[in-house]
Structure 1
Amino acid sequence: MTTRDLVLSSLFAAIIVALGLLPPISLGIIPVPITAQSLGVMMAGVVLGAKRGAVAVLIVVVLVAIGLPVLSGGRGGLAVFVGPTAGFFIGWVFAALVTGYLSELLVRPEQSGLVQGVGFFLAAFIGGVVVEYAFGIAYLAVAAQTGFAKAFFGSLGFVPGDVVKAVVAALVGRAVMAGYPLLPQRT
């Protein structure tokens, strides 16, 4: 990893942390709040690619592990890794990895803007929603002892907001590809 890669990953880690300043919204159905930080995870994947996007999220994970209150609602510390939201939090790493991998696979500079936007959206949706929910729902069902059905159906309330986040991430990815063409060269 080059210095440039580390700087870009650190920049997106800072964006993810900054999105945590927005207050979480609780649905009351399950103990997982709606946060804006998952948008940062999707953006890291579509803009930086698989490797740098995953490193950006790993930086946030390390910051949380050492106790810094960088998650939405001022949460941090090792307790985050055993709470009911731990699956969603750990799923961020894999969400950024899959989102980045799919964006590298689906989006090329020679494609039209619409095709690029759709490719970024599919990458953000599959990585940032499907993969993250797989980790989050599985852990929530076990940790909160709610059962998979209740955890799954309780999580469905978050999907419309996450689809909007995937659209925003796709628009950001497309804007970066058009405005700063050297950045998407993900190796």
Structure 2
Amino acid sequence: MHEPDEEAWAEGEADDEAELNLLVDSRLNRARPDRYLARDREWMDGIVEEVAAELNRHPRQVVLDAARRLVHHREGQATRSANRLLRTVAQTGVLPLGWGVGETWEVIRTDLLSRPLSISGERVRLGAAAAHDLDSWSALRELEAAKRNDSERETWAGARLLGSWVRRQGVSRVDDLRAPKPV
């Protein structure tokens, strides 16, 4: 990770969200306590104030970034909604009540079936999905689930390995681990 350009922010020249993320990450890394409750956010208040002051210097960019995040978030929520419909179909084994009938159908057609599925980087409106789209989506999701399981296993295996090194070296924290000497 490269260091954020704090001078560019201070001079109002770096109005890029990626640069702001680096700045926030850097400040969080310096201020983060060794231990804290997950819901404890008070230690971040000073950083929030600093970032708010920086953002005040870039109001148009802040508004655009907020609008972009909102729109992208809502699109992500729409995808989750389509996924929920697929889960309901799997759990019940039937189409939702009101499918193809009157006002309920109109709501389903204009709302639920307008939600997208994400298939290999392409979004397909659920109502426009063909059998091959659904088959592709299903196969990809199955592969992704297997990868997530593998990644989760690697994550806890890494935690166990670090814990064993801490015990083996007789140190009290990961910070204190010594790298093995080269052979």
Q: Settle same-fold status: TM greater than 0.5.
A: no
TM-score range, shorter chain: under 0.3
Instruction: Name the structure, 1 or 2, with higher relative contact order (CA <8 Å, separation 6+).
Output: 1
TM value normalised by structure 1: 0.22
TM value normalised by structure 2: 0.23
Structure showing greater radius of gyration is 2
